[in-house]
């Protein structure tokens, strides 16, 4: 049969390399070598590393985004209030 391009299957076994590694029972990377406190420290280091990658907004951008959100929420509150008032009047008209 013809193999698909980019296939990771080996011709001898017919299984992907990842399945072969899983069959050997290897535990992954740094997790297999550390206890619970080591894993917790690794998690903390990874969180700090990810937070350093974040592009934080400037004060100007933050105030602009906050203003947009507050205006949008006020508009939605007004819309819901008008719709609620309309339903209230309709129910009063129908049920007296």
* Residue 79 belongs to a domain: yes
| Burial (CB count within 10 angstroms: exposed 0-12, middle 13-18, buried 19+), residue 61 | exposed
* Residue 80 belongs to a domain: yes
* Residue 33 belongs to a domain: no
Q: Give residue 34's pLDDT.
A: 76
- Model confidence band, residue 12 (pLDDT cutoffs 50, 70, 90): low
Q: Give residue 62's pLDDT.
A: 97
Total H helices, total E strands in the chain = 3, 0
DSSP string, 42-56: HHHHHHHHHHHH--P
* Residue 71 belongs to a domain: yes
* Residue 65 belongs to a domain: yes
* Residue 9 belongs to a domain: no
* Residue 4 belongs to a domain: no
pLDDT tens string 36-54: 899 999 999 999 999 999 9
Is the CB of residue 42 less than 8 Å from the CB of residue 48?
no
* Residue 43 belongs to a domain: no
- Model confidence band, residue 58 (pLDDT cutoffs 50, 70, 90): very high
pLDDT tens string 73-92: 999 999 999 999 999 999 99
- Model confidence band, residue 23 (pLDDT cutoffs 50, 70, 90): low
Domain housing 70: 57-95
List the Cα angle 11/29/50 in 5-degree steps: 115
Cα→Cα distances 92→59, 83, 84, Å = 49, 14, 12
Q: In the chain, how many domains are there?
A: 1
């Amino acid at each position: 049969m013809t193999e698909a391009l980019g296939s990771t299957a080996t011709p001898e076994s017919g299984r992907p390399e990842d399945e072969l590694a899983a069959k050997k029972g290897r535990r992954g990377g740094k997790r297999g070598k550390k206890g619970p406190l080591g894993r917790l420290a690794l998690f903390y280091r990874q969180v700090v590393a990810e937070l350093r990658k974040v592009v934080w907004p400037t004060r100007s951008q933050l105030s602009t985004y906050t203003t947009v959100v507050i205006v949008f929420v006020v508009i939605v509150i007004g819309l819901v209030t008008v719709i609620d008032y309309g339903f209230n009047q309709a129910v009063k008209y129908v049920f007296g």
